[in-house]
Every structure is written in structure tokens, then in C-alpha cells.
Amino acid sequence: MHALFPVVLALARIGGVFPSRQPSRVPRAVVFLDYQNVYMGARETFGSRHVSGRFGQVDPLALGKLIVARHPDSTRLHGVRVYRGRPDPQRDPRAYAANTRQSQAQEHRGRGVVKVVSRSLRYPKEWPHLPAEEKGIDVSLAVDLVAMAASGELDVAVVMSTDTDLVPALEAAALFAGIPYPRCELAGWRAPGQSHRRLVPKGRRLWCHWLDRDDFEAVRDDTDYNVGPP
């Protein structure tokens, strides 16, 4: 993944490739969600072994609005980008149908704001005894983050993930920082008495929007996407 950033950085330095930055009167915030990471993080932070599979689901639009509403500066929600794996329709049609229903519902509720970016899951030879894995999600998020920061498509980027593979992307995006934008920030779940995981780019201290149990309850989505037409 890291090999992609020199290409993006080189393009950004070529005069005329990216438009000059015109600071918005109200800064535009884009929230980047590593959805599986957000989902599992909520389950680990606020759930237990006995919670249903729906526990941990969130409404991306509601989550984006919550983060922006809590921002220390006046900002407006410009977009929420959701990055997630997509089951294979032949190998696992039930999971594929549920995934499709959920993604469509998220984009419908956040029409014009929420965009779901999905990539096919990778299935090991031992599947279904071993679970399918996400492949390329961190790359997709990282490339979009750097490209949007470089091209001036956002003023504030908020990344919600604990995947350390994203640290180089945060460092690269920060190279385009002006005064005062663009700015990179983080978001994460937090519960009393628990250790809190966050990304820490080398040599930088990024603002983190810590979200507690009440915040999760405000944005949780208990819809059963296994039910309904494919």
C-alpha cells in the first residue's frame, strides 16, 4: 500500500494537476469509516459474547452528523465514505444479499452524502471452515484520503479505524496541510475503564473524537438486513 503514496504526492506537486485550494467559509468535513473495524470496535467496547450479530451496526449518516456536531470548530458534513468488504454472490448468496441491502439502505438514508465503497472478500481454500477476509479496504480508504486532501475536496478528514496500515495515509495527507486546512482527525469508541486504541502517526498528535456508549446508542442500527428481498 505504501508504494502508492509517492505517486499521489508526485501528482500533487505537478502544477495544474490539482486545483488551487480555496478555503470554504464553513470547512467541509469528510468522515472515512472502515466499517468492519467500526462494527467490531463497537461490539468489543460496548457488547459481550452474547449480543446478536446486529449489535455494532451503525448508521453512517447519523455517525457523521454526530462527529461534526461535536467538532470544536464550526464545520459542515460534506460526505461520509464507508469502506467495506462484499461477499461473493455465488459462494455466499445470503451474506451477499444482506450486505447489498445494508449498503443500499445506508446510501439511501444519506442520499448525496453517504457513499459505500466495497471490494470483494477473499475466500481461503478452507472456507467456510475459515472465514472470508477483507482485501484492499485499507488501500481504497488510504488512496481516497490522500487524493481528496491533495485535491482540495475536503478541509477536515476524520478517519474512524484502528487499522495501523492507515497511519502512512494520515502522514501523507498531513503533508498537504495549510493554514488551517486540510486537517486530519480521528474518531474512536471509548468506554470507562477500558484501554483505548487509536492511530498515532509518527511525530503528530491528531485530534480524536472519542465516542461513548450514549453516542453509540444514538447512531446504532438494529435493522436485520438478512430479512427482505435480495
- Give me the pLDDT at residue 72, please: 81
30-219 maps to which CATH number? 3.40.50.1010
- Give me the pLDDT at residue 73, please: 82
- Give me the pLDDT at residue 179, please: 53
Using DSSP's 3-state secondary structure scheme, residue 39 falls into: helix
- Give me the pLDDT at residue 159, please: 95
Using DSSP's 3-state secondary structure scheme, residue 78 falls into: strand
| Per-run averaged pLDDT (10 residues), the chain, 230 residues | 53 45 74 97 89 95 96 91 97 96 97 97 94 94 92 92 89 69 86 75 75 97 84
- Give me the pLDDT at residue 2, please: 53
> Taking the domains of the chain in order of start, what are their residue ranges?
30-219
Closest to 38 (Cα-Cα) out of 144, 171, 137, 174:
137
What is the model's pTM? 0.87
User: Following DSSP, what letter does each residue of 89-148 receive, concatenated?
Assistant: TTT-HHHHHHHHHHHHHHHHHTTTTEEEEEEEPB--TTTTTS--B--SHHHHHHHHHHHH
- Give me the pLDDT at residue 3, please: 54
Q: Is the Cβ–Cβ distance between 159 and 199 less than 8 Å?
A: yes
The strand pairing partners of 81, in sequence order, are: 32, 115
Q: Is the Cβ–Cβ distance between 169 and 140 less than 8 Å?
A: no
Tens digit of each residue's pLDDT (9 = 90 or more) over 121-167 = 999 999 999 999 999 999 999 999 999 988 889 999 999 999 988 98
